[in-house]
Structure 1
Amino acid sequence: MSEKTTLTVNDMTCGHCVGTVRGALEQALPGTQVDIDLATKKVSFTGDKAKGEDAIREAGYTPEAA
């Protein structure tokens, strides 16, 4: 089981953002488990933390330590 990473993505503001971030993570980390809470702007995923952060950045968002 991979370690779970939780990040805060403050510039994620709507359902479309959630879908974009989820898609980016699923593409970068096949088989990852992604949990996103828009209300708290928390994104959790399993797998390679650096790859996940890069995927969120490449999707146009700013991941920060939660």
Structure 2
Amino acid sequence: MSDKTILTVNDMTCGHCVGTVRKALQDALPGADISVDLTTHKVEFTGDRATGEAAIREAGYTPEAA
């Protein structure tokens, strides 16, 4: 699980959003390294990109390539 994915999530607008995105990724990718930055709207994680993107979408957000 060393491949890092960086996505932009522009509809992540508050601290609650950050927590929701982080939890969705933690649930979908246990043990992944996860970084969520509200200021830049960047989400970085290790693990399967498709799984991470799907988890973010299921949480109600729109991930895009960074």
Establish whether residue 33 from structure 1 lines up as the match of residue 33 from structure 2.
yes
| Aligned CA-pair RMSD | 0.6
The CA deviation string for residues 26-60 of structure 1, in whole angstroms up to 9 with x for no partner, is 00000011101100000000000000000000000
Equivalences, count: 66
**How do residues 4-43 of structure 1 correspond to structure 2 at under 5 angstroms?**
4-43=4-43
Q: Give the TM-score taking structure 2 as reference length.
A: 0.97
Over the matched positions of the two proteins, sequence identity in percent amounts to 76
CA distance in 2 between partners of 1:2 and 1:47 (Å): 7
- Which residues of structure 2 form unaligned runs of 5+? none
CA distance in 2 between partners of 1:36 and 1:20 (Å): 10
Structure 1 residue runs of 4+, over 4 Å off?
none
**How do residues 27-66 of structure 1 correspond to structure 2 at under 5 angstroms?**
27-66=27-66
